[in-house]
């Protein structure tokens, strides 16, 4: 993908594509002008001897220490070196790519006081596929994502390590192989690189993109489970949704109706005596619709943040002002990530309840545990236990991270957002839900086949066929671990999004 950074809002659809594949980035003429104008003001400040935080002072509680002009470049390099203290597993390259792209977007707004050369150097890393090795842990989400962004920034200086085509190597080697020179930082440039919410935002965005994959699969699984237990599609009637009025509920019910349209299984029991189905079937529009509403809200917050200027101080060339503020505080991302965690947990919780319903012969009308010769075979008994274990884990992981502030920097930074963990833990939750929904898809497929030769809708029979390509029918006991993993991979690849694409915000905005 080629992307020109100029004056436009970068959309979620573009960011999603940058998460999926390498991106070639170029700075437009207007962006170049804005960057240069703000940099000129920083040069004037240095030449005039005015004291400005982070330009010619120390950082944090050391802000009162004045730095001599001949040490200003050394100051910025020391900032990068001293702050590169991340620990833990490395961020995946596709998330690092998002971090780098959003840092380019922020600097290109022209409020950071850096040279155009610095932004172009960051673009050159992206365009060469050089992805800094960034440890995932070490940020509290204020003043921005300091430690992880220091690891990103170090590669520009030839410090640290980077990956190229999946191979880890010294940063200096990666630069040399691409014909690039390490950069020497000018006043404020280290601070502009390190201040910012790009790591928290990238982790949250990646969670949004994955959540769309999971939510789509959960809708398909829910429709399959509804048909497998001979449930009613009446609760999905548009009139019921319209009188409540929630957009997510209306959208989800529409998707469910379309998925089940034309099912011969449904037609076979329209005159049955069952009055109402359990809530995990009947209330899918209300529950998953609410989760879709959360996802839509989070998308709006993150699209704003992805295009935001979040370093400090900010440079306003038009009014010749350098102002210190707090845009680096990632509270909007933290709260959005915590909100999304609730939705992710609920998607998994509802799916697990449908699995329990499918294996219960008294409620589903299907063979006990979805297998012939029950007793000799245990069927899906333990698969539901696994789903229950994962759903329970997510209850703990859904606890809000944003309420757990710890002061840092000798109490100068006395309230922090914990946005980075808030966003990072979403991926553990999504791993769990992918596996829960994979189990439901396997169980629902088994349930539908018990009704053959009566067929479900053409769409759901197509999904059943796709599942059978990676998981054969369960005729006698065997390990389902590999089957679950293969179906979970289908979910993670976005294979089910085609059935819900019209309602997915990052596919359409």
Residues annotated as catalytic (active site), given as ranges = 53
Give 322's DSSP letter: E
Task: Report cis status (omega within 30 of 0) of the bond before 171.
Answer: no
Task: Supply φ then ψ for residue 321, to 5 degrees.
Answer: -125, 140
Q: How far apart are CA 127 and CA 4, in angstroms?
A: 12
Note every long-range contact of 476-481, with CB atoms under 8 Å and residues 24 or more positions apart, other chains counting.
476/371, 476/373, 476/377, 477/371, 477/377, 477/378, 477/379, 480/380, 480/383, 480/439, 480/442
Helical (H) or strand (E) element with 5: strand 2-5
**CA atoms within 13 Å, Cβ hemisphere of 97:** 26
Q: How far apart are CA 104 and CA 93, in angstroms?
A: 16
Tell me the DSSP string of 168-179: EEEHHHHHHHTT
In this structure, is the dihedral angle defined by the CA atoms of residues 399, 400, 401 and 407, taken in order, positive or negative? negative
For 404, list phi and psi in degrees, rounded to 5: -110, 65
Residue 355: closest CA among 391, 392, 384: 384
């Amino acid at each position: 993908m080629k992307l020109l950074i100029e004056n436009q809002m970068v959309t979620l659809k573009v960011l999603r594509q940058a998460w999926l594949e390498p991106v070639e980035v170029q700075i437009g003429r207007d962006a170049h002008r804005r960057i240069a104008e703000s940099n000129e003001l920083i040069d004037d400040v240095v030449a005039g001897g005015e004291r400005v935080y982070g330009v010619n002072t120390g950082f944090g509680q050391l802000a009162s220490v004045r730095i001599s002009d001949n040490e200003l470049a050394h100051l910025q390099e020391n900032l990068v070196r001293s702050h590169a203290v991340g620990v833990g597993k490395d961020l995946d390259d596709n998330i690092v790519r998002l971090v780098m792209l959003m840092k380019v977007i922020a600097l290109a707004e022209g409020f950071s006081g850096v040279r155009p050369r610095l932004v172009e150097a960051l673009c050159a890393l992206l365009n060469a596929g050089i992805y800094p090795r960034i440890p995932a842990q070490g940020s509290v989400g204020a003043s921005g994502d300091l430690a992880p962004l220091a690891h990103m920034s170090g590669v520009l200086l030839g410090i640290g390590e980077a990956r190229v085509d999946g191979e880890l190597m010294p940063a200096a080697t990666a630069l040399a192989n691409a014909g690039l020179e390490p950069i020497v930082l000018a006043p404020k440039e280290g601070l502009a690189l390190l201040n910012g919410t790009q790591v928290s935002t990238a982790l949250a965005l990646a969670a949004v993109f994955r959540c769309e994959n999971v939510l789509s699969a959960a809708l398909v699984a829910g429709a399959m489970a509804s048909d497998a237990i001979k449930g009613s599609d009446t609760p999905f009637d548009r009139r019921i949704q319209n009188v409540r009025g929630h957009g997510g509920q209306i959208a989800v019910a529409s998707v469910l109706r379309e998925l089940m349209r034309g099912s011969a299984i449904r037609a076979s029991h329209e005159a049955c005596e069952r009055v109402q189905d359990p809530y995990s079937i009947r209330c899918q529009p209300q529950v998953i619709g609410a989760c879709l509403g959360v996802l839509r809200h989070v998308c709006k917050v993150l699209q704003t943040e992805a295009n935001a200027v979040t370093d400090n101080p900010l440079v306003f060339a038009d009014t010749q002002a350098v102002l210190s503020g707090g845009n680096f505080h990632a509270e909007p991302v933290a709260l959005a990530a915590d909100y999304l965690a609730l939705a992710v947990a609920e998607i998994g919780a509802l799916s697990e309840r449908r699995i329990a319903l499918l294996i219960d012969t008294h409620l589903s009308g299907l063979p006990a545990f979805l297998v012939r010769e029950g007793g000799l075979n245990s069927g899906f008994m333990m698969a539901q236990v696994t789903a229950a274990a994962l759903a329970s884990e997510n209850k703990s992981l859904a606890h809000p991270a944003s309420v757990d502030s710890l002061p840092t920097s000798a109490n100068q930074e006395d309230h922090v957002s914990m946005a980075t963990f808030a966003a990072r833990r979403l991926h553990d939750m999504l791993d769990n839900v992918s596996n829960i929904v994979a189990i439901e898809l396997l169980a629902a497929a088994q349930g539908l086949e018990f009704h053959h030769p009566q067929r479900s809708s053409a769409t759901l029979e197509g999904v059943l066929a796709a599942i059978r390509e990676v998981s054969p029918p369960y005729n006698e006991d065997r390990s389902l671990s590999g089957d679950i993993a293969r179906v979970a991979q289908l979910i993670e690849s976005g294979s089910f999004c085609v059935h819900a694409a019209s309602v997915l915000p990052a596919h359409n905005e």
